[in-house]
Chains A and B, each alone.
Chain A
Amino acid sequence: MSAVKAAPAAAGAMQLISGNHACALGAIAAGCRFFAGYPITPSSEIAERLARALPEVDGVFVQMEDEIASMAAVIGASMGGVKAMTATSGPGFSLKQENLGYAAGAEIPCVIVNVMRGGPSTGMPTRPAQGDLMQARWGSHGDYPIIALAPASVREIFDQTARAFALAETYRTPVVVLYDQTIAQLTETVDLGHRRVAPFVERKWASGPREEYRPYAADESAIPAMARPGDGYRVHTTGLNHAENGFPTQNADVVERNLARLLAKFERHREAIDAWQVTSCEDAEVLVVAIGISARSATRAVELARARGVKAGLFRPITLWPFPEKQLRAAAARARAVLVPEMNAGQLRLEVERILGGKRVQGIDRCNGEPITPAEIAAGLEELGVRS
């Protein structure tokens, strides 16, 4: 995907809905037919919506006994060939991490929505935060690849949830949809007139004779075809390091080869995976990098700063992981300083500093449950614009 442009407004189908509602609609539109979850604020509305919507499309909703079981059931359903999703918030996201790592290692497509609330621990269940950026990338043990998407509006939650399924199926990976409580429970008027044409993507299924099929052998795409139970392949799936035939191995060469493929498997597909939005970056001397509700404030802040003569721009990663690095470097080409407002203690800033090595990067860190206002970001931009 290239830089995202606003979709053209179509007549009709205007709805006033919340972000969590849009998430449920996006999932159904993308072909999600299984949801397992556990009640947690502020994500529960997704489960409640899908408990009603899934039976209508011959899907299955189940409320499991805990967060761990929800993640496990979702992977189990996907191993059966059904598009599956769970939704949670910080504490539940922590509990899901071991099984999320299983899905990454065994390459089982699934979608995990994490509606971020205040942390650490139980934190502030009804207040927004953006504190799970690094957990979305590194939360499970060992090395593994993952995709995380960070929508910033109700409409974009619909689109990115639907896209999460397409990416999960295409690249055989868990995909995390990460957004904060503010936009989860924000209601906005959206036009979902095109929702029937939302991406409805099937994973690559095994075909050909059983004797020739090797579950983790991949062509140049690096994505192996998956066997569906019942299709006659009778394969073994394990969280142990495995050979191309799917069975456990401790052969160093075999393990290294499979992990090298796994860890690099998104690289040749970055054009399709990367998504970002740039606003006024062409001549930007100070650049804001932000996601979610902070990016909404930053959009206004850039206008305010420009009105006061500061050449400001906004870079917003929509695909957060893998991070759109080269796109950020391009957007920041003329910038003398970068401002990263975020509702955590500087997680996104760490990544921006790494990518823009040497450039002046300043943060606005917010961990008290209050969104960062446009005025605060604009003030930061003006200060940087003057000093840099």
Chain B
Amino acid sequence: MILDKAADFDVRKYLRLEMMPHFLCPGCGHGIALRALLWALDELDQDKDKLAVVSGIGCAGRLSAYIDANTFHVTHGRALAYASGLALARADLRVVVISGDGDCLAIGGNHLIHACRRNLNLTCLMLNNEVYGMTGGQVSPTTSAAMLTTTTPLGNSEPSFDACALAAAAGAGFVGREVTYHLPKLKELIKAGLEHPGFAFIEVLSDCTEIFGRKNELGSSAEMIMRQTSDLRPSAYRDTVEAPFRPNELATGVLARNDRPEYGTAYRNAARAIKAAAERRGGK
């Protein structure tokens, strides 16, 4: 039933079909994440003219170009900062940010923690495929321990970030994680994030089959995605490689939520109050 419903959603109405074929590799999970986002927007009856999508650099960053909306493909790591300016200047727009693990957590890490703290009305999708795919497969802040990348030929010896724990600790209004395997659940999570009045951080566990999967002999894309069950047992990968894929037992679903005031609304309310007080003093 659920799958039928997913199939019923015609993704084409939100895509720039003239941009097809897209440039993602066969088996890449990013397309599923994009479908989930567009499905969630459709269920919210999102007016495409009032939708702005801001993305950074990397494979995830290229997704904005495929969305039939006001799209901005900006500099590496800075999508949240551009989006903050856009959302503050144009409160009438729905602003969505699409970022990758390197874009969002490494070069853009400072903007992420402050976007969480500021709690501006933005929805940030971080597509985590554990690797810098666009540049050929270098280690990223979320690469699991011992995994091979072009810059960790001895196996990754840095611990990986738990991005959701980071976002929650920094005060994001809404934090959630889901795998691409569960498309309807992912759609629901994104929808909840879009509806949250404040900063929503959603980590999508995607897969990079071509580069990361191949290098680590993680199997076909279907195998990689099928193993992304919601509780993400690392043991699933122990059959394939000696070192576990995603050894952290990353929880999924809504992981944190608070009702702190949304920054833009709070700012505008304060400005209105000050203006009103000034007008009263001026006897107007």
Contact = CB atoms under 8 A, between A and B. Distances in A.
A80 B92 CA distance: 10
A34 B88 CA distance: 9
Given A64-B84, A64-B114, A82 B75 contact: no
Given A73-B84, A76-B85, A230 B70 contact: yes
B86 A237 contact: no
A64 to B, nearest CB: 7
Interface in B64-107: 64-65, 68-75, 78, 81-90, 92-93
B88 A69 contact: no
B49 A76 contact: no
Given A72-B81, A234-B49, A55 B86 contact: no
Interface in A36-56: 36, 55-56
A75 B78 CA distance: 11
Contact of B82 (A65, A79, A98): A79
A73 B74 contact: no
A229 B85 contact: no
Contact of A72 (B64, B85, B113): B85
B84 A99 contact: no
B124 interface: no
A93 interface: no
B54 interface: yes
Contacts of B81: 64-65, 68-70, 72-73, 76
Contacts of B278: 56
A232 interface: yes
Interface residues of A, number: 44
A75 to B, nearest CB: 6
A84 B84 contact: no
A79 B275 contact: no
Nearest to B117: A65
A80 B93 contact: yes
B231 to A, nearest CB: 35
B266 interface: no
B36 to A, nearest CB: 21
Nearest to B79: A72
Nearest to B107: A68
B88 A73 contact: yes
B126 to A, nearest CB: 17
A230 B87 CA distance: 13
Contact of B85 (A55, A73, A236, A237): A73
Given A230-B70, A240-B73, A74 B110 contact: no
Interface residues of B, number: 40
Contact of B54 (A74, A76, A230, A231): A76
Interface of B is mostly: helix
B238 interface: no
B86 to A, nearest CB: 4
**Which of A75, A80, A233, A247: most chain B Cβ within 10 A?**
A80
A84 B85 contact: yes
Contacts of A82: 89-90
Contacts of B222: none
B17 interface: no
B19 interface: yes
B64 A236 contact: yes
B165 interface: no
Contacts of B274: 55-56
Contacts of A73: 81-82, 84-85, 88
Interface in A233-255: 233-240, 247-248
Contacts of B19: 247
A249 to B, nearest CB: 12
A230 B50 contact: yes
Contacts of B110: 65-66, 69
Interface string A178-217: 0000000000000000000000000000000000000000
B113 to A, nearest CB: 8
B93 A62 contact: no
Given A77-B88, A235-B70, A236-B72, 8 more contacts: A69-B114, A73-B84, A75-B74, A99-B74, A230-B49, A233-B70, A236-B73, A238-B65
Interface of B: 16, 19, 48-50, 52, 54, 64-65, 68-75, 78, 81-90, 92-93, 110-111, 113-114, 267, 270-271, 274-275, 278
12 contacts: A55-B271, A60-B267, A65-B110, A69-B114, A72-B75, A72-B78, A73-B81, A82-B90, A99-B74, A230-B93, A234-B48, A236-B71
